[in-house]
Structure 1
């Protein structure tokens, strides 16, 4: 690492130009190729997937996406001559528009059911060609909303007209600005605030254009860019900060600039590499789930982390070389010039706090664990699903159409269940009719009806409208009841097969699949983390404690999103919509991200402790000094991540807001309670046993030095009881 640092320092201008050229080159490629993001969270081998495949195979329609035009008359009825004339003309223009396959309006005998019972609301369905262009859909939107007036409100929803909230650049800017303020306030040096941010921005910017190009190769969700920005800015600033902090300490101790850069990269830089590796391993661990949309997000986020680490290891040393001693404040530079050397770690507020924890480890540890357990408790009621349009901002046309449909036809009309009925015989078709009759008597069903089957048709379609909204837990219960009770009774004694499908059922199945895989994924990630820390710190106890406490951090993250988004406490104040289920893939990604970030802090904290342990062989001193010397920078790093993650809460995207809330709360509490209280308290209680590793396992494991060459562990041939010493008073 020191050789890399010296090379980057000597060729600092070339390194800077290489990064600029890489960013411009990838940006040009992404601009020419465009993006190919998709948003289809499907699960194979589920009831809804089988229903979809059956209906798709039986359909000869060339139509592609569809949408719904909804209108509501203020103070009158949609059947009034003026309203009917205006909307009929608009629908006629829509039907002739390029890209439109068919339009089904309410002003015909067949469409009478598309007018609400009170006559105030009506809707029309629009089916598009498979190869319809975005510009053609936008043209249809303009034609459909043209008659809107003070007395006639028109809105659109459905697959074709879904408007995904765009990433909000203001959120990025807000997070960066807050991070700058935190760094400037703590370190009182402009360059300390600027360099970590510049390094992170370059890393995130390069990864963003790389991910856009990657979207042509693998399936990536449109939220991947925003998620990558959220993670990249947080870890990028933190990684650069750890290197800069070590460099500053060495400069204040009298080390020259070039040598200090090499030593900083050889110590903190190694910790950054290992910390980044843990995040990447945690993210790529999601590939074991074999879920397409999550695989893409994991790969995209991992690419972002890799490039931010690379920027911290190459671009940052070059920039530090350009800045020289100005990375220190003026007062600090004058002190160094006068021969005043920086004091050893363990002084100041964090030194005194480390001494308090050493003096009363049981009391501090138990209190912190009790607080964390209480905050993680809501995780027990976690419910996965998919929020519907009712959670969008009220200014959204999708939300307005949703509300009008719910008001006129009932909330379940926004997410009807689509039953695919395999009925090859006449007896099966008679059984389908009996099924429809039975469905109408089921609690939670507002209406049910079957589309007429043509001669020779072997697959029928039954539409079931629930009494509750698509995201409601009652709708999920209805789906389970239909599959477990109503449909099996109808199938009995026949060759008919019925599968419950449609977007609502598909989202419910997707949530069930992920919920079933979540426990195994957590165990796999915990095992990988344990293995990495065992290799890094030559210990069994430290990795075990780290893995368990990381699970507690994840519980705190889940508890935060359950309280805000599922219970709805504070969601409306933040403009995040009403209470609803947690998006299915959010907990999986939070597990991977949070486990990686928690490991980061564990690596930075314990690597300094192990460095001191290798030097002195005094476990209590090692824990105290490691906590004292890393406490400030870990707290600042957590504050930066809190600002970055918290800024995304206001970005206008519910999914990203869920990530922002969970990660912001969990990172702050992980750093301040777990790493600065629980971990050192437990390590003080365990003494020399912290560093014990069986000899055979020690020989079998590869040698990885997180602290840099020359830091060999203190000899410990067998566990030796250690007499506890009182915490120092000064």
Structure 2
């Protein structure tokens, strides 16, 4: 790493040109081979997936995405038929609208009281995410124009929800917040600007290459926000660590080039290990067997790889230009803290952090018990979490798709917002009569409000039966109904008929996806924890450090889950962040959070324990090593955590519930991890464990390679010149 730092420092112009060339190549490749975001949230091999595939292959008219135009008239919808026909005629001429069903002739489209109707717009795209936002907005505008005139109308559907999410500029908000925190941390514009420069340079390359990547893999559109969130956060954090170490080496008397080499050979190694833990955690998403998870993981890994590369290559090149001026443009933000170099050459931590670290040592048992109690208390709400996919009923009351949802629930019943779509394969083409016993059995099943007449495809070999539950799509009774239909009603009704029936639709797909993810979650947790422990074992040559880190990180993630579950209850905390109803948690969100948070928690573990091990190797005193390690990294971890919290919190205003929940969970997790875990629980536990912290069985010691994550700081210290005569002058305080 030191040789790489020296090369980048001396060939800084070449490195900058190379980085610009990579960016240019990324732009060119993206323009030529950029793909489109797409995501399939269905569970492979599930009943709902089979229904979707059958309809796509044989009944394309029923497989496309749809929008629902809802109209209500107190005098009865028959009184506004002319206005409805006019609106549907206008919508029929808009892009991607393949057909509009006539609600006055379609069975089940008018409520029993005659005051509400639903007109279905069938689109020419199969996946709702494939509908261009601009074209969806044209449809929304046409309905809103009619709503402002003679009709009480609203429009709903997944494309509408996606179009109304908009953009909140979360990345820019996060960068601005990070810049303020860096200025407060370093007090100089140059030192604060270096992490921002590296993070932005990495983000520019990774976001451009993402367009090429999605040409080969399926990835959801929110994966770019996730990757940007990670890239900005860890990019700034990693360079923050290295800027801090660079200033310490300068204080120790090294010139800019030597300080750069020493920084890469110490903090640079920690950055590589930390980045490796994040990548290992994201690779755990491949164990889920879901295409959209793999796509999101690959997009994020690309961002992490580029940012780590920028941290160890572009950053030392920038030091070649700005290293001598790292403390220039100082802001009047209080007294400048002096950096003191001890006799051994290491930098003494500040007295404030030494005092805090000593306090933890004296009260280690109390700190450990208090830390565990806080984490378990925060995790408790997760025991009552409700899994599912948020829908229009969880949107803010003023949104058009929430208005459409409420109008449908009021006029037809809550189950009409989550119909079950049964795809039926007929043994004899055109034999519609064979479907009547099935329809009768469905209608008489407890929990079914209605079973609409079947519709046959042109070939007559496939039919669609729509079943309306008595409860809403998120209700537990609806999930029970889906299992009852599959396990009892349908098998009994089709026995001996030759009919093949699959239960699908958005509601059934959400149920299948949730159950599929839940069944695979142990694979993710086990794989990520095991690989991360192995990485830490190799890095720090300590069994106890690896096990302790895994346990602490699991507690930290559980506490973050609890905060998310509490917010989703729609209480005062939920309303504070824009969640005003009891909202289910998409099952893939805790999976993503686990992969991301476990990797980020390992980052702070690496930052902290690498300095502890450095002191342990220098002194052989565990108590002193833990105290000095915490004191030496407490300021860096606090600043890094504050930046991460700001970056993730910037996604909370997003209208997208997935991004909102991830932002809340990640910000809470980083706050918990950097305070309760890293600054309280970890040092307390390591004080209690004593020298056992650094135990490694002999047989493992012989086979595990020595990575020297902490580097060899003593090799970079300036050689002391022989003093002309004994002196009792105090050690100088260098800034």
Please give the TM-score of this superposition, normalised by the length of structure 1. 0.90
**Residue correspondences, number:** 703
> Structure 1 residue 561 and structure 2 residue 564: aligned?
yes
Match of 1:626 among 625, 629, 653: 629
1:161, distance to aligned residue in structure 2 (A) = 4.7
1:159, distance to aligned residue in structure 2 (A) = 5.0
Q: Which residue of 1 aligns with 2:120?
A: 125
Match of 2:605 among 602, 626, 640: 602
* Alpha-carbon spacing, 1:444–1:570, altered in 2? closer, same or farther (3 Å): farther
Q: Distance in 2 between matches of 1:637 and 1:136?
A: 42
1:683, distance to aligned residue in structure 2 (A) = 1.2
Once the two structures are overlaid, the 10-residue window that deviates more, 555-564 or 238-247, is 555-564
1:318, distance to aligned residue in structure 2 (A) = 1.9
* Alpha-carbon spacing, 1:60–1:181, altered in 2? closer, same or farther (3 Å): closer
1:702, distance to aligned residue in structure 2 (A) = 2.3
- Tell me if the contact between 1:254 and 1:341 (Cα under 8 Å) persists in the aligned partners: no
Q: Distance in 2 between matches of 1:263 and 1:455?
A: 74
* Alpha-carbon spacing, 1:606–1:456, altered in 2? closer, same or farther (3 Å): closer
Q: Distance in 2 between matches of 1:330 and 1:100?
A: 58
- Tell me if the contact between 1:172 and 1:647 (Cα under 8 Å) persists in the aligned partners: yes
Q: Which residue of 1 aligns with 2:83?
A: 86
- Tell me if the contact between 1:120 and 1:408 (Cα under 8 Å) persists in the aligned partners: yes
- Secondary structure class of the residue paired with 1:315: helix
Q: Which residue of 1 aligns with 2:103?
A: 106
1:271-290 maps to which residues of 2 (within 5 A)?
271-290=270-289
Once the two structures are overlaid, the 10-residue window that deviates more, 470-479 or 434-443, is 434-443
1:50-199 maps to which residues of 2 (within 5 A)?
50-59=50-59, 61=61, 64-73=64-73, 76-80=75-79, 83-95=80-92, 99-107=96-104, 110-111=105-106, 113-129=108-124, 134=132, 146-159=145-158, 161-164=160-163, 168-199=167-198
Give per-residue Cα distances to partners, 1:43-92, cap 9 Å, x unaligned: 2111111222333344264974332222234x544322xx3212212323
Q: Distance in 2 between matches of 1:170 and 1:219?
A: 24
Q: Distance in 2 between matches of 1:670 and 1:148?
A: 49
Q: Distance in 1 between matches of 2:535 and 2:240?
A: 23
1:628, distance to aligned residue in structure 2 (A) = 0.9
1:469-618 maps to which residues of 2 (within 5 A)?
469-492=472-495, 495-566=498-569, 568-618=571-621
Q: Which residue of 2 aligns with 1:411?
A: 414
Give per-residue Cα distances to partners, 1:117-146, cap 9 Å, x unaligned: 344332212223459984766655555555
- Secondary structure class of the residue paired with 2:218: coil
Structure 2 residue runs without a partner (length 5+)? 716-735
- Tell me if the contact between 2:34 and 2:214 (Cα under 8 Å) persists in the aligned partners: no
1:694, distance to aligned residue in structure 2 (A) = 1.4
* Alpha-carbon spacing, 1:111–1:431, altered in 2? closer, same or farther (3 Å): closer
Give per-residue Cα distances to partners, 1:273-322, cap 9 Å, x unaligned: 11001100110121122210000000100111111111111221222232
- Tell me if the contact between 2:174 and 2:650 (Cα under 8 Å) persists in the aligned partners: yes
- Tell me if the contact between 1:431 and 1:491 (Cα under 8 Å) persists in the aligned partners: no
Q: CA RMSD in A?
A: 2.9
1:451, distance to aligned residue in structure 2 (A) = 0.7
- Tell me if the contact between 2:52 and 2:63 (Cα under 8 Å) persists in the aligned partners: no
Once the two structures are overlaid, the 10-residue window that deviates more, 182-191 or 200-209, is 182-191
Give per-residue Cα distances to partners, 1:207-229, cap 9 Å, x unaligned: 11111221111111101111111
Once the two structures are overlaid, the 10-residue window that deviates more, 243-252 or 187-196, is 187-196
- Tell me if the contact between 1:382 and 1:558 (Cα under 8 Å) persists in the aligned partners: no
Q: Which residue of 2 aligns with 1:461?
A: 464
Q: Distance in 2 between matches of 1:455 and 1:230?
A: 48
> Structure 1 residue 268 and structure 2 residue 272: aligned?
no
Q: Distance in 1 between matches of 2:481 and 2:682?
A: 46
- Tell me if the contact between 2:125 and 2:131 (Cα under 8 Å) persists in the aligned partners: no
Q: Which residue of 1 aligns with 2:726?
A: none
Q: Which residue of 1 aligns with 2:730?
A: none
Q: Which residue of 2 aligns with 1:49?
A: 49
1:565, distance to aligned residue in structure 2 (A) = 1.7
Q: Distance in 2 between matches of 1:133 and 1:345?
A: 59
Give per-residue Cα distances to partners, 1:97-123, cap 9 Å, x unaligned: 56543321223xx23632233443322
1:326-365 maps to which residues of 2 (within 5 A)?
326-328=325-327, 341-342=340-341, 344-365=347-368
Q: Distance in 2 between matches of 1:67 and 1:569?
A: 33
Structure 1 residue runs without a partner (length 5+)? 713-730
Please give the TM-score of this superposition, normalised by the length of structure 2. 0.89
* Alpha-carbon spacing, 1:266–1:574, altered in 2? closer, same or farther (3 Å): same
> Structure 1 residue 26 and structure 2 residue 26: aligned?
yes
Q: Distance in 2 between matches of 1:342 and 1:332?
A: 24
* Alpha-carbon spacing, 1:165–1:583, altered in 2? closer, same or farther (3 Å): farther
Q: Distance in 2 between matches of 1:133 and 1:541?
A: 52
Q: Distance in 1 between matches of 2:111 and 2:474?
A: 22
1:709, distance to aligned residue in structure 2 (A) = 4.0
- Tell me if the contact between 2:107 and 2:453 (Cα under 8 Å) persists in the aligned partners: no
Once the two structures are overlaid, the 10-residue window that deviates more, 487-496 or 278-287, is 487-496
1:610, distance to aligned residue in structure 2 (A) = 0.8
Q: Distance in 2 between matches of 1:602 and 1:178?
A: 24
Give per-residue Cα distances to partners, 1:6-33, cap 9 Å, x unaligned: 1211222332333234334423543455
1:559, distance to aligned residue in structure 2 (A) = 1.0
1:678-717 maps to which residues of 2 (within 5 A)?
678-709=681-712
> Structure 1 residue 2 and structure 2 residue 6: aligned?
no
* Alpha-carbon spacing, 1:342–1:435, altered in 2? closer, same or farther (3 Å): same
Once the two structures are overlaid, the 10-residue window that deviates more, 464-473 or 647-656, is 464-473
Match of 2:378 among 358, 370, 375: 375
* Alpha-carbon spacing, 1:352–1:97, altered in 2? closer, same or farther (3 Å): closer
Q: Distance in 1 between matches of 2:322 and 2:368?
A: 42
1:446, distance to aligned residue in structure 2 (A) = 2.0
